[in-house]
Amino acid sequence: MPVMVWIHGGAFETGSAGNPLADGGVLARRGELVVVSLQYRTGIIGFCDLPGAAPNRGLLDLVLGLRWVAENVAAFGGDPYGITLFGSSAGGVAVAALLAIADVRPLIRRAIVQSAGLECFHTPLTASGVRAEVARAMGVDDGKLRERLETAPVDAILAAQVEAGQRIEQATNGIAFAPWLESEPIVAHPLGVIARGGAKGVPLLVGTNRDEMKLLHLRSLPAAPHALSRSGLTTQLDALFGSVKSGDRALALYEGLASGRCPTPRDVLDAVLTDLHFRVPSARLARAHARHEPHTYGYVFGFRIPLAPFYGTPHAMEIPFVFGTTAVPPMPLFLGASARLRAMARVMQDVWIAFARTGDPGTAATGPWPQITEDRTPVMVLDEDVHVDPEFLAEEMPFWDDILASARPVPSVDRASTIPSNAKLPSLMPPALDLEG
Mean pLDDT value across residues 138-152: 93
Q: Would the pLDDT of 417 be above 70?
A: no
Q: Are 26 and 324 in contact (CB under 8 A)?
A: yes
DSSP letter for each residue of 5-27 = EEE--STTTS--TT-GGG--HHH
The catalytic residue among 119, 212, 293, 396 is: 212
Q: Which residues is 37 bridged to in the sheet?
A: 6
Q: Which of 315, 318, 396, 412 is catalytic?
A: 315
Q: Quick one: pLDDT at residue 220?
A: 56
Query: What distance in Å separates the CA atoms of residue 200 and residue 58, rounded to the nearest whole number?
Result: 25
pLDDT at 106: 96
Q: Is pLDDT at 129 greater than 80 in this prediction? A: yes
Whether the predicted pLDDT of 200 surpasses 50: yes
Query: Does 217 participate in catalysis according to the annotation?
Result: no
For 386-413, how does the pLDDT look when each residue is reduced to its tens digit (9 = 90+)?
A: 999 999 999 999 999 988 887 644 333 3
pLDDT at 142: 87
Could you read off the pLDDT of 95-110 as tens digits, one per residue? Answer: 999 999 999 999 999 9
Question: In which band, very low, low, confident or very high, does the pLDDT at 218 lie, cut at 50, 70 and 90?
Answer: low
| Residue ranges in 261-315 assigned as alpha helix (H) | 265-274, 280-290
- Give the pLDDT of residue 435: 44
Residue 122: active-site member: no
| Exposed/middle/buried for residue 219 (C-beta within 10 Å: 0-12, 13-18, 19+) | exposed
Inter-axis angle of helices 230-241 and 244-255, nearest 10: 130
Residue 315 catalytic? yes
pLDDT value, residue 407: 60
Asked if residue 318 lies in contact with residue 209, where contact means CB atoms within 8 angstroms, the answer is yes
Q: State yes or no: pLDDT of 430 exceeds 50.
A: no
pLDDT of residue 309: 80
Cα separation, 198 vs 434, in Å, equals 13
What percent of the chain lies above the pLDDT cut of 70? Answer: 91
pLDDT value of residue 107: 97
Q: How confident is the model at residue 170 (pLDDT cuts 50, 70, 90)?
A: confident
pLDDT given for residue 409 in this prediction: 41
Q: What is the mean pLDDT of residues 31-50?
A: 96
The domain limits of the chain are 3-212+273-393
Contacts of the segment 304-310: beta carbons below 8 A, 24+ positions apart: 304/210, 305/334, 305/335, 306/334, 306/335, 306/336, 306/338, 306/341, 307/333, 307/334, 307/335, 307/336, 308/334, 310/214, 310/223, 310/225
pLDDT band at 224; cut points 50, 70, 90: low
Three-state helix/strand/coil letters over 183-229: ECCECCCHHHHHHCCCCCCCCEEEEEECCCHHHHHHHCCCCCCCCCC
Provide the pLDDT for residue 307: 79
Number of Cα atoms under 13 Å in the Cβ half of residue 38: 32
More confident residue, 117 or 325: 325
Q: In Å, what is the CA distance from 436 to each residue of 316, 372, 417, 421, 433?
A: 31, 17, 35, 39, 9
Mean pLDDT across 25-47: 97
pLDDT band at 226 (very low <50, low <70, confident <90, very high): low
Looking at residue 354, its pLDDT comes to 98
Helix (H) or strand (E) holding 316: none
Angle between helices 124-138 and 154-172 (to 10 degrees): 130
What pLDDT shows up at residue 192? 93
Residue 336 has pLDDT above 60, yes or no: yes
CATH number of 3-212+273-393: 3.40.50.1820
Percent of the chain topping pLDDT 90: 74
**Residue 415 has what pLDDT?**
32
Mean pLDDT over each residue of the chain, to the nearest integer? 89
List 37, 88, 89, 115, catalytic entry? 89
Q: What whole-number distance in Å separates Cα of residue 199 and Cα of residue 232?
A: 43
Amino acid identity of residue 323, one-letter, is F
